[in-house]
Each structure stands twice: as structure tokens, then as C-alpha cells.
């Protein structure tokens, strides 16, 4: 069973993906980490993420050890990830890894921005997770504070808007809901309730 989960930053898609993977005993890939690792490789060398040729080189020689690096989750790396993610050659370099992961025996859960549309168009279940922008900013603010990163809520709201804009309007694989995806609005819902809703959809159609 392949489960594809897409949605914007801090919509709750990552938490839902991890929960569904645990519930159904499937491996999980947070595909944003691939774009983040690409960006972090550049940041660590003092290269701007907007440097296209260097971004392509980094994506083609992805350093998977960066997945464990605490900087992977920083706001700076996230912003850089959305810049490198707009380069079609970067997306191409990361494509096979994701498709192979999805097609492993038994299936998998993948979350990102283009899973239901590009990486797993034939997924058994697709969810598009959304939430109110201010609630997303507050969630992300809490997450970053827990990791020791202090950032003003206002700055985060601006960054989230910029990121949504860039992810939704790029030409290659923009953030869009697949026609056959289930829309899950997590605004005001506990994570338990969101998981329950997704499991109900899966269990009714397996």
C-alpha cells in the first residue's frame, strides 16, 4: 500500500505521515528532507541556495548523513530548500530515490509537495493536508522553540507566506492537490482526530 501525503509547511502532514506509517507498519520518507539536505550542503559551504549549478551538483551527490544534522530542521535550511526545489534539474536528481522508496515491496508512506501528483500518481491513498495560515505559523513557532531556535512569530508568518507562494507558483511540480486526493483540513483539530479521519478513509477502502 502506497500512501501519498502532500500539503504546505506545518499543515500537519509530517505528523500524519509518521502516524500512518507506524499504524500500518510501513516505512516512511519525509521527502522535504531531501531538498533540505541539498540546501544544507550549500549553506555549509557558504554557497547561496539560489546558485543553480551548485544546487544541481549537491542534489546529484546527496550526503545522506545530513539527515541526522540538527541544522536540517532550521528555518534557514527550510527556506533554502524551497529555493533549490524550484530548479527542475534538482527535482530530477531526487526523483529516482523517491520513486524507488515508494515502490519497495509492501509499500510506503511519503510526504511532501508533489507526492500525489508527480512521485506516486498511482498511490493507493492520497491526502492533501491544509490548515489555517496563522495556526500553521504558531505550530511551527512552537516546534522551532522546542529545538532552541528563537524566531519572532511575525517573521515566521512572512516566511510561511513566501514559502507557500514559491512552492505553489513554481513551474515544475508546484504544490497542488491531486484530483483524487482526500482533503484534510487540520485547523482546530487535534492530531489524534486527524489520524482517525485518515485511518477511517483508508480502512473503508482497502
Q: Is 36 in the site for ligand C5P (CB under 6 A)?
A: yes
- Number of residues in contact with ligand C5P under rule CB under 6 A: 15
Residue 170 Rama label (left phi>0; alpha psi -120 to 50; beta) = beta
Q: Which three cell numbers stand for residue 10?
A: 506545518
Sequence-separated (6 or more) residues with CB below 8 Å from residue 13: 5, 6, 7, 111, 127, 129
How many Å apart are CA 39 and CA 163, to the nearest integer? 14
Q: Is 81 in the site for ligand C5P (CB under 6 A)?
A: yes
Q: Tell the smallest beta-carbon distance from residue 203 to ligand C5P (Å).
A: 26
Q: Tell the smallest beta-carbon distance from residue 9 to ligand C5P (Å).
A: 5
Task: Among 2, 9, 19, 160, indicate the residue that binds ligand C5P (CB under 6 A).
Answer: 9
- If we measure between CA atoms, which residue out of 41, 92, 86, 89 comes closest to residue 62? 41
* Choices 80-88, 100-108, 133-141, 198-206 (CB under 6 A): range interacting with ligand C5P: 80-88
Task: Among 28, 126, 139, 163, indicate the residue that binds ligand C5P (CB under 6 A).
Answer: 163
* Choices 113-121, 123-131, 149-157, 198-206 (CB under 6 A): range interacting with ligand C5P: 113-121
Q: Which three cell numbers stand for residue 62?
A: 546527496
Asked if 149 and 74 touch (Cβ cutoff 8 Å), the reply is yes
Task: Among 24, 35, 87, 128, indicate the residue that binds ligand C5P (CB under 6 A).
Answer: 35
How many Å apart are CA 74 and CA 24, to the nearest integer? 30
* Choices 31-39, 54-62, 182-190, 197-205 (CB under 6 A): range interacting with ligand C5P: 31-39
Q: Is 160 in the site for ligand C5P (CB under 6 A)?
A: no
Amino acid at each position: 500500500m502506497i500512501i501519498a501525503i502532500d500539503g504546505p509547511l506545518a499543515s500537519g502532514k509530517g505528523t500524519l505521515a509518521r502516524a500512518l506509517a507506524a499504524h500500518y507498519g510501513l516505512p516512511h520518507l519525509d521527502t522535504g528532507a531531501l531538498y533540505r539536505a541539498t540546501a544544507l550542503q550549500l549553506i555549509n559551504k557558504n554557497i547561496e541556495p539560489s546558485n543553480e549549478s551548485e544546487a544541481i551538483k549537491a542534489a546529484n551527490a546527496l550526503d545522506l548523513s545530513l539527515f541526522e544534522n540538527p541544522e536540517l530542521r532550521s528555518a534557514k535550511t527550510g527556506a533554502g530548500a524551497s529555493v533549490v526545489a524550484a530548479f527542475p534539474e534538482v527535482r530530477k536528481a531526487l526523483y529516482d530515490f523517491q520513486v524507488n522508496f515508494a515502490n519497495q515491496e509492501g509499500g510506503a508512506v511519503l510526504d511532501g509537495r508533489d507526492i500525489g501528483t508527480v512521485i506516486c500518481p498511482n498511490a493507493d491513498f492520497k491526502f492533501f493536508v491544509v490548515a489555517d495560515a496563522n495556526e500553521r505559523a504558531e505550530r511551527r513557532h512552537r516546534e522551532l522553540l522546542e529545538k532552541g531556535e528563537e524566531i519572532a512569530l511575525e517573521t515566521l508568518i512572512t516566511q510561511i507566506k513566501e514559502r507557500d507562494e514559491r512552492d505553489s507558483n513554481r513551474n515544475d511540480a508546484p504544490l497542488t492537490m491531486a484530483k483524487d486526493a482526500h482533503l484534510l483540513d487540520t485547523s482546530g483539530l487535534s492530531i489524534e482526530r486527524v489520524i482517525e479521519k485518515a485511518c477511517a478513509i483508508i480502512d473503508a477502502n482497502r
